[in-house]
Structure 1
């Protein structure tokens, strides 16, 4: 029996895709060492992929050049707090304690929040959920259906898994600028089975702390907002703790990087120079089966025009840097 959901869940899964052919946003690659297969995860949408409801899809490849798919690995189930027609953002998959955990941001636009600022954009329930599977290609089942990891009223997104130096799991996430004006990146401790929070959230930094972030001025709003987006954490061979994240510089999406001066999650965090500009961002690092570090991100920002792009990366003693564009 196939590990994938029935192919009728999506429109025309097939072999031979190139990255330039695949509409993708907030891409994430999991390298499966036993199978020697790369799994590319991205949002699945009814209007693009022929699905009945929003969820997560994957493509698979042996060489990062030709991809097979798309296949559905998760859809928003009946009975969940999130609305099945209101989107699924920023999926990513992590192996933890022998299981595969999918982090994905879901929404319920009909669950309105009281306006706490005068940004003229709707505020509603939004938050990252965690689902689990025995295989990276799913199918994934929500661990809890009654709400996201952090309260849906906080409008959080882009949650990612981080395991600290004493093996404690954390979810690092962004707190939405629509609600905070100056978007933040925060972390919350999780229980050992990732089923619930295990303490209060910790503030790591705000988007405006990066000198290159110019901020944006939405139509109908007199102030300046600062976007925090797409956090991912990695540790170099020398033990330095770094974070990828994205924001905007003069209206263009930027892939940036920060580093903890203490090499611990609590920071303080220093902002380094951006890695990739040109309306590119929400990237993540992974290693090929030959040990080469690579960065995948999307460009330009909006779907369905956005596509994945790959960059060869170099790991230095205290950070990662771009060598050149690969695809």
Structure 2
């Protein structure tokens, strides 16, 4: 399967409208003006593709959908065949759903952990349209996509097999810490577009990473978070695997935003060597003052 990048993320949250200020004023995202998601949806982007991040009003903090980009119609047809051969039920998006997602075509399925994913091609691009909510040098997207997401899954082995064997993700590295294992997966030069962590009986979105072009933008955002007394989930630090310098801020919807700069890239995938580490960070990334995550939910064990 030829997934090329993380295309978009849709989230439900009772605090969706808080993103109308948090997104542009703190993170520097642009507000997408169209209301395809309705008046109760805040639509944001970090480049010339409108609506990459949508937060809709709802009773729970939870992921609605994760969108993955494919090169074209033929690749989407091949992906459907691969999913169906693996016994995965695939639902084709309606014309209205494709317009709302701003893509040519999409299909939808559920992974073993219960997350809904969409595969699509032809995401809308409006050249020169990105207008950040505050002064910023911009974000690293282009062929690397929106950023990366880290998911908590109840069965790490099952999810890892699905993402690698069925969807074609490749392992970048693995980190063991505090009794947990994090596996990082890439589909393009970004060190990881997805990471998964196994916690039995739990499922949810841990964080979305946004990468900026300029180190000063990390400092500016960090200062804004402190000035506005927004809870920090993790302090400034540098990761051991992708070498990103970042901090983690708790979003209005209970998951974290990793805001970072300077990550390493997977430039020659066929020569990439998977490493095993025992620490997530070289320095920093100490726990902040944020309460426990609010975007995790218990899941029932499979019927025996």
Larger helix proportion, structure 1 or 2?
2
Q: How does the TM-score come out when normalised to structure 1?
A: 0.28
Larger strand proportion, structure 1 or 2?
1
Q: How does the TM-score come out when normalised to structure 2?
A: 0.29
